[in-house]
A and B are shown apart, each in its own frame.
Chain A
Amino acid sequence: MDFIGAYSVGNLSYLLKGFLITLEVAVISIILSFVIGSLLGTLRYAKIPVSSKIVAVIVETIRNSPLLLIIFFSYFGLREVGLKLEIMPAAIMALTIFESAMISEIVRSGLNSIEKGQIEAARSSGLTYIQTMWHIILPQALKRMIPPLVSQFISLLKDTSLAVVIALPEMLHNAQGIYNGNVTYVIPIFILVALIYFIVNYCLSLVARALEKRLDTNQKDGKNGNRRIRAASLSG
């Protein structure tokens, strides 16, 4: 183990460059998958005859497949049917597909945790369906969804490291480049990469916990619902 050699300025800046790519890919994928996941989740929640069923099948298929496979599929498979993506877009595509499916489940259970009686009450008081969703259901559900959503984002950040398999120049890829030259760098570089991931993700999870605490005190009645969403979303 050669910590001093491994942590040279050149190596560190190379690793940092990889970290920035990791962040870039993760942030773009988080935004995209949040939007798409929310839409899919709402769609499935609404129980529209055919489309909800179709969405359910798609979401369940994706949720139950390994991300690694989806990455290979996005990069190698899709180009055979005409969708040719470069490395970074392919990585973002794969992460977005996978995480959208995960997030749609969080959104759906969040919505489901709101009592149906509220919809009926709102509708009978004269609100339209859209108004009911927008003003009554979504604000409540969103509050309950925040903690599992944040932990899903943490997963996404970690999962970005899998894109190393299609040579996305993210942090782990650059780490490989460094320890390839010298085997005594392997452990020091792993420790450093792990620490960087840990610090970023731990801060995120602290934010999630603070939010969770605040919400728990805000609405005592939401406890049961919260637990159910968390159960659906504990992700790895």
Chain B
Amino acid sequence: MLNFSILTKYFDLYFQGFLTTIEVSIIGLICSFILGVIVAVMRIAPLRILNWIGTCFVEFIRNIPLILIVFFFYYGLSNYINLSGFAAGTIGLTIYTAAFIAEAVRAGIQSVDKGQMEAARSSGLTYIQAMKHIVLPQAIKIVIPPIGNQFINLVKNSSILGLVAGMELMYFADYVHEKTWISFDTYIFAALFYLVLTIPLSFFVNRSEKRLARSY
């Protein structure tokens, strides 16, 4: 049976970490969504150089481990800009997640029929207007489930901040572990806090996936 006295005794620590995890997740969520959409639009924009930059960004970031990106911002850049564990972790997470979101959004945009873009352009809209009013609104619906999945990943991946003293849930779970040396219970309780965040998200994603599937 789980030793709930650990949870009650160290609840403050867990909760403090939990709040930071939420904070990181929300900041990361907003920033990575914005960055992701920008990169996705760059990738399909009618300008070679933008395509190329967008593609390089997505392919490079998607294929290297997140921990490397976070360490790069934390240790690597310290001569130029000294970021705290929280900042380096959040920036790393944002960039990493943005690459995946960009890929999802691009796929969504390209799934919208090409003819619609042409029709919109020929009716006098500019490329950006057509994108904004015609293509993106349709694409967003399609990409909600994959983006939702990315947000779940983001919450889970925020645990990486524990390795750069980012003071979130994982860091405090380690701290409790070190105080008690009772590993099983300590980490199970930490997992519960993560599940409180991820399970509702996952439920929402599943539902929107089903709804999307039905609409075809």
Direct A/B contact, Cβ within 8 angstroms: yes
A interface residues, Cβ below 8 angstroms from B: 60-61, 63-69, 72-73, 76-81, 154, 158-159, 161-162, 164-165, 172, 179, 186-187, 190, 193-194, 197-198, 201-202, 205, 224, 227-228, 230-232, 234-236
Q: Please determine whether B59 and A73 come into contact, CB atoms closer than 8 angstroms.
A: no
Tell whether, in the assembled complex, residue A68 and residue B162 are in contact, meaning their CB atoms are under 8 Å apart: yes
Write the chain A residue with the least CB distance to B163: A165
Q: How large is the interface on B (under 10, 10 to 19, 20 to 34, 35 or more residues)?
A: 35 or more
* B64 with A231: CB separation less than 8 A: no
Interface on B for A, CB 8 Å cutoff?
59-60, 62-68, 71-72, 75-76, 96-97, 100, 103-104, 107, 111, 142, 145-146, 149-150, 152-154, 156-160, 162-163, 170, 173-174, 177, 182-184, 186-188, 190-191, 194-195, 198-199, 202, 209, 212-213, 216
With A190-B71, A236-B157 as known contacts, state yes or no: A69 contacts B209, CB within 8 Å. no
A202 cross-chain contacts in B, Cβ below 8 A: 59, 63
Residues of A within 8 A of B194 (CB): 64-66, 69
CB-CB nearest 8 A-B residue pairs: A76-B183, A201-B63, A64-B198, A66-B159, A77-B184, A158-B65, A161-B65, A236-B153
Measured CB to CB, the nearest residue on chain A to B72 is: A190
- Tally A-B pairs: CB < 8 A: 146
Is B64 in contact with A234, judged by CB distance below 8 angstroms? no
Chosen A-B contacts, 28 in total, with CB atoms closer than 8 Å, are A61-B195, A64-B195, A64-B202, A65-B195, A69-B170, A69-B173, A69-B187, A73-B187, A76-B177, A80-B184, A154-B62, A158-B64, A162-B67, A172-B68, A190-B72, A194-B64, A194-B72, A197-B64, A198-B63, A202-B59, A205-B62, A224-B213, A224-B216, A232-B209, A234-B100, A234-B149, A235-B149, A236-B100
Knowing A77-B188, A236-B157 are in contact, say whether A63-B150 is a contact too (CB < 8 A): no
Interface centre among B62, B97, B174, B182 (most CB of A within 10 A): B62
Shortest CB-to-CB span from A147 to chain B, Å, is: 12
CB neighbours of A224 from chain B (8 A):
213, 216
- Bound CA–CA A193/B162 (angstroms): 21
Query: Which of A69, A187, A193, A228 lies at the interface centre, i.e. has the most chain B CB atoms within 10 A of its CB?
Result: A69
Contact indicator B96/A236 (Cβ below 8 Å): yes
Give the residues in chain A near B145, CB-CB below 8 Å: 231-232
User: Nearest-CB distance from B208 to chain A (Å)?
Assistant: 10
| Residues on the A chain within 8 Å of B111, using CB | 227
Min CB distance A135 to B, Å, is: 26
CB neighbours of B195 from chain A (8 A): 61, 64-65
Query: CB distance B190 to A69 under 8 Å?
Result: yes
A78 lies within 8 A of B184 (CB) = yes
